[in-house]
Structure 1
Amino acid sequence: MKPLADRIRPIKIEDVVGQQHLLQEGKILNRILGSGKITNMIFYGPPGVGKTTVANIVAKVANKNFYKLNATSASLKDIKDIIQELDNIMNANGIVLYLDEIQNFNKKQQQSLLEFMENGKITLISSTTENPYHYIYKAILSRSTIFEFKPLKKNDVITGMRRAISIVNDEFKNINIHFLQQALEYIAQASGGDLRRAINAVELSIYSTNADENGNIIIDEHIAKECTQTKVVNYDKNGDNHYDILSAFQKSIRGSDVDASLHYLARLVKAGDLISICRRLLVISCEDVGMAYPNAVAIVKSCVDTAMQLGFPEARIPLSQAVILLATAPKSNSVLVAIDKALHEVDIKDVGEIPPYLKDAHYEGAKKMGRGLGYKYPHDYKNNYVNQQYLPTNIRNSEYYISGDNKVEKKIKYYWDSIKNSKDK
């Protein structure tokens, strides 16, 4: 018997749950289905949200023969076999090729489709869980329309579960299935917007529970918890979601939202990605806190070293300390802005020669070349400061560092302004 998730797969667009931004009446995919004119499409989104289901429905209205490949197991030979069928009289109108998980095809495999997409003999409908702009060949992207599928909302998942339960009830004889609301709520919440995972939990709950003397299978929250897999965090260290979570992590710390920062830390901890967490925390301590709290980088380095030495699960504790410190610390990006300004000027300007009195003079003959002559040693002057030109003459008026609007940098600025503007210096 097929898995329940396959047995209940909708064949009409009206039975698909969620994705209203694409499927609701008047929305673009709904209009395409109404017209029957199918173009090359890429469906992008997390697993279990209806990509394959909608692709099957779209293909059926195309009035073309339908071929399906899964890129995780298909080879170049499989593509060539389909191409050889194109001249078959049955395929005179062209074919629809549904290519699931297209991100697993290499560039050569993807390129083999281009000629036939161009002349209209192949209409490609592909799906991917990864960002298509990162994984799909640009020539295919330029010939396709990308539709982003969103994670399902809890109520959408519950609607899909109720439909599955109704279908199973129709299959059974003399047995009635009753899911308590708390059980539905728990499975829907734990599924993380993945209807397939929720349906699998429903199926396991039903087939692992005996009917009572009245022929009733009653699924409560306890049974639902037993039959629901531990939530799998959508995370691939080399994938799009990796960078999305890290981006949200840094932006939450930068925005001083300590709870959001800890939430994204929890996702990274669940994924076991200790290296990425540590690297990002060290960057944040300099990039986003910087001179507003200069000691932050030293403290974070200690937390990171401790986490690396401990490993998970204990590493979560010093990591949490570092996150809370950075999220609640005053913020300044003056360090980042300063070095980027300096780098930009090096890239675009003729910066000129280093002033000769700043050049190395620790070798015989240096004075004859004018090296080091006229250099004023700051420690010989009051407050260990003396006014002299340090930048090359071509850029002597450049200014990179602008102090941030925080207590520490204001104090530093006040100190140096008072010394540099003093008449007695």
Structure 2
Amino acid sequence: MHNEPLAYRMRPKNIDEIAGQEEIIGKNTALYHLIKKGHVPSMLLYGEPGIGKTSLAHAIAGTSDLPFISLNATVSGKKEVEDVVAEARVTGKVLLFLDEIHRFNKLQQDTLLPHVEKGSIVLIGATTENPFHDVNPAIRSRCGEIKQLKRLEASDLLGVLHRALTDQERGLGKQSIRITEAQLLKIAEGVNGDARKALNVLESVVIASDEENGETIVEDWLVDNLIGRIGLFSDKKGSHFYNLLSALQKSIRGSDVNAAIYYLAHLLETGDLVAVNRRLLVIAYEDIGLAAPHIGAHVLAATEAAVRLGMPEARIPLANAVIEMCLASKSNSAYKAFDAAVRAINSGNTGDIPPHLRDTHYAGAAELGHVGYQYPHNTPIGSFGGWIDQQYLPDKVEGTEFYRPVQAGDEVKLAAIYERMKEMKKNKR
């Protein structure tokens, strides 16, 4: 009887047993050939939990035959790092796998990095966070390879499950198990590309199933029950969460209703309603803006309703808001105009406020020359209201156009008014 979990026992022993990740460690990659020839470069492995970072490091160690040491940066101190350095001095070279490398502190770095630089320690770091945001630059500079692992496809996971069922030494091959291909596919499709979860589900299903005449018989309801919500990956403040927020915004901006609803559902399942509401409000004004100005008010109402309702009812107003935003006309002209004005100011394109626009609510303003302002409301112009041609920008930036209208939705009318006023100014000057 095995004491270790099935997922631990089935961890690949060498790089030929790695499932998926063909672009990173497939037989046609340079990394595969380097490792096969005994050269292991220091590298960073980046990806979500369960994606195979630890398995890949163990497989590389099994292929290279280097002395292998595994540490976790959250619990390892200076002493553990010094032990690795001492081992490298004795053996000449060691392969160090450092999990949660983004938590590596400066003291650990100062002890380890010189040995990584001269090659006596080969460092494989693993992180769930974006290494360009969260891994110290000193570590990144010494890791020539930064590999982003992808979640496995269902076909890759089916191969992992079949191997576990047939492997008599490490897997379940010595047991008689009746499990259908449809049940295995359901597991493979229900774990969100996570091989460890797939093997955990398989092991749990086999343990929980009844036996008949020495054969374990797996039933559909048991598979459904054990998969449950296992496919959901939640890291409210991690890189994947912000990737989901980014995907939601880009899907709305791209008017893809189905993708936007998918990412909204994933985000709400993580439970961070505040972050979702905030992003939706940003999208309403950043990506839809003047083309459909009513959307901002609609989204604000939906997010406020979501806060009052809480989950799961919050999904209802938010789903309405997301679909309306997807199908609304889009314009980013307003914030682009603002950003252009900021760039002008920061580059020194500033000047004195025209005297006639300055404050006059005090005695002596006229003596300072704060005169000449013409009140637009006194000059009606059609159904627009009041307008008169006078200078508003400082002399230095007079005539600069920060606003570039987009011909979309309601902004078409605003753009027409804007162009008409430009023409009127031109004719009067």
TM-score by length of 1: 0.93
Flag structure 2 segments of 5+ consecutive residues without an equivalent. Answer: none
| 1:106 has 2:105 as partner | yes
Report the secondary structure of 1:37's partner residue: coil
| Equivalent AA in structure 2 for residue 381 of structure 1 | T
- 2:206 maps to 206
* Distance of aligned partners of 1:302 and 1:12 in 2 relative to their CA distance in 1, 3 Å threshold: same
2:271 paired residue number? 272
What SS does structure 2 have at the residue aligned with 1:402?
Answer: coil
Give unpaired runs (5+ residues) of structure 1.
Answer: none
**How far apart are residue 420 of structure 1 and its match?**
6.2
Q: Aligned residue for 2:325?
A: 326
Structure 1 distance, partners of 2:225, 2:422, is: 71
Asked whether the 8 Å contact 1:102–1:127 carries over to 2, the reply is yes
1:164-203 counterparts in 2 under 5 A?
164-167=164-167, 175-203=175-203
Give the SS at the match of 2:107.
Answer: helix
- Mapped contact 2:151–2:193 kept (Cα < 8 A): yes
Task: Write the mapping of 1:94-243 to structure 2, written as runs, cut at 5 A.
Answer: 94-144=93-143, 145-167=145-167, 175-213=175-213, 215-243=214-242
In structure 2, relative to structure 1, the CA distance for the partners of 1:245 and 1:107 (3 Å cut) is farther
Q: Number of residue pairs matched?
A: 420
SS at match of 1:388: coil
Report which stretch shifted further, 409-418 or 282-291: 409-418
Instruction: Give 2:379's aligned residue.
Output: 381
1:177·1:218 contact (CA, 8 Å) conserved in 2?
A: yes
How big is each residue's C-alpha offset from its partner over 1:31-89, in whole Å with a ceiling of 9 and x where there is no partner?
A: 1222101221222222333322221232234443222112233222211232234433x
Aligned to 2:32: 30
Is the partner of 2:76 in helix, strand or coil?
coil
Query: After superposition, what is the alpha-carbon deviation per residue over 1:147-184, rounded to whole angstroms, capped at 9, x for unaligned?
Result: 22110000110110111111269877985112112211
SS at match of 1:369: coil
Partner of 2:244: 245
Distance change >3 Å, CA 386–CA 99, structure 1 → 2: same
Equivalent-residue separation in structure 2 for 1:170 and 1:2 (angstroms): 10
Q: 1:402 aligns with which of 389, 401, 404?
A: 404
SS at match of 1:69: strand
Pick which of 415-424 and 351-360 moved more.
Answer: 415-424
Which of 45, 70, 87 aligns to 1:43? It is 45
Partners of 2:43 and 2:84 lie apart in 1 by 19
Q: Check conservation: 1:5, 1:196, Cα contact below 8 A.
A: yes
Deviation at 1:137, TM superposition (A): 1.2
Moved more, 103-112 or 379-388: 103-112
How far apart, CA to CA, are the structure 1 residues paired with 2:56 and 2:229?
28
Shift of 1:250: 0.5
Give the 3 Å change call, closer, same or farther, for CA 19–7 of structure 1 in structure 2. same
1:386 offset after TM fit, Å? 0.5
Query: 1:217-275: CA deviations, max 9, x gaps?
Result: 12132221122242253332322112211111001101111111111100111011111
| Native 8 Å contact 1:62 1:96 kept in 2 | no
In 2, the alpha carbon distance for the partners of 1:300 and 1:53 equals 44
Identity score, percent:
38
CA contact (8 A) 2:98 2:123 kept: yes
Is this contact kept in 1: 2:165–2:172, CA < 8 A?
no
In the TM superposition, residue 94 of structure 1 has moved relative to its aligned partner by 2.0
> Cα gap change, 1:362/1:171 in structure 2, threshold over 3 Å: closer, same or farther?
closer
